[in-house]
């Protein structure tokens, strides 16, 4: 009898906790959806670049591959665009992330829509975290999905060309699989973790600046670097900004998409002090953005 009553009590308790959990996560999820509705360039820009890249691949790369009779050159011509397409999508989403961070908290004060959103029962912390999730989580995930979908289409078309030439597609497959793993590693290590201080700084400036947020975000950094160069004839600050991605930033050097998976060192990257100092700086910037949004008036 006691066992049955305990089971019933635990069941009722779990049912009571479920709505509470849903209630605590729903404002955040709806805030993220709001950002996707308001800033459609988040997904339109990478999709447009992917479409243009696919057109270039079909008309230029496939045409060049079919025009040569050298089978080795044909295979090389088909493998090259995979790397270029990935880098192009990543560059696009990085630029989208920069402009989004600068506009995310500044735009709602400029068009005075913040008066409406503050009347909604969503805390400033939830709003800022939802906005921060766009460059830190949503855009890297979107980049990975779009890039993989685009490369799958490119892989199918390339396989058809190679099969028609009597060549094996195994080499192309062996090239694509490691590149996919390294793409995922790069998006997490560099775009989400390594570049988090930049995104946090931009959101802090977006919450503070009354106008020209881009200038207020870039001028202090340029001033610090210029003063260091003039006074000490060193470039430590500029090198620090250039290496925010840590060791994973070396992924961008050269044709690293073709490198071996053995070169990846996630453990060493996660244990680097620079990474955690950067994440601490990001947390401080986001905390400052929350406080500024709470007390900042519309422009």
pTM of the model: 0.79
Using the structure block, give the residue that is written with the tokens 């001033």. 223
Is residue 122 pLDDT above 70, yes or no? yes
pLDDT mean over 117-140: 90
How do residues 251-268 score in pLDDT, each as one tens digit? 444 334 444 555 666 677
Instruction: Give residue 258's pLDDT.
Output: 40
- Contact at 8 Å (CB) between 194 and 250? no
Share of the chain above pLDDT 70, in %: 71
Instruction: Give residue 7's pLDDT.
Output: 38
How do residues 25-61 score in pLDDT, each as one tens digit? 788 888 889 899 989 999 999 999 998 888 877 776 6
Instruction: Give residue 144's pLDDT.
Output: 92
Q: Lowest-pLDDT range, 98-107, 197-206, 225-234, 281-290?
A: 225-234
Instruction: Give residue 206's pLDDT.
Output: 92
- Residue of higher predicted confidence among 46 and 70: 46
- Contact at 8 Å (CB) between 133 and 196? no
């Amino acid at each position: 009898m006691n066992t049955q009553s305990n089971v019933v009590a635990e069941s009722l308790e779990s049912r009571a906790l479920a709505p509470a959990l849903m209630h605590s996560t729903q404002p955040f999820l709806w805030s993220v959806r709001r950002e996707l509705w308001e800033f459609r360039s988040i997904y339109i820009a990478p999709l447009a670049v992917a479409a243009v890249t696919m057109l270039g691949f079909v008309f230029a790369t496939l045409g060049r591959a079919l025009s040569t009779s050298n089978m080795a050159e044909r295979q090389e011509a088909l493998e090259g665009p995979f790397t270029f397409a990935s880098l192009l999508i990543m560059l696009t989403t990085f630029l989208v992330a920069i402009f989004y961070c600068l506009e995310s908290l500044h735009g709602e004060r400029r068009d005075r829509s913040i008066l409406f959103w503050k009347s909604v029962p969503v805390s400033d912390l939830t709003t800022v975290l939802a906005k921060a999730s766009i460059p830190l989580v949503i855009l890297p995930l979107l980049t990975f999905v779009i890039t993989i979908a685009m490369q799958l289409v490119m892989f199918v078309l390339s396989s058809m060309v190679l099969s028609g030439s009597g060549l094996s597609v195994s080499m192309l497959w062996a090239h694509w699989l490691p590149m996919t793993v390294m793409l995922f590693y790069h998006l997490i290590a560099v775009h989400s973790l390594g570049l988090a201080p930049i995104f946090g700084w931009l959101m802090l400036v977006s919450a503070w600046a009354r106008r020209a947020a881009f200038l207020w975000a870039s001028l202090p950094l340029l001033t610090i670097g210029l003063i260091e160069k003039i006074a000490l004839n060193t470039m430590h600050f500029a090198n620090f900004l250039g290496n925010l991605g840590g060791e994973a930033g070396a992924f961008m050097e050269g044709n690293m998409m073709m490198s071996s998976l053995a070169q990846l060192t996630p453990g060493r990257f996660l244990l680097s002090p620079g990474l955690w100092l950067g994440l601490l700086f990001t947390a401080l910037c986001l905390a400052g953005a929350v406080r500024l949004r709470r007390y900042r008036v519309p422009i």
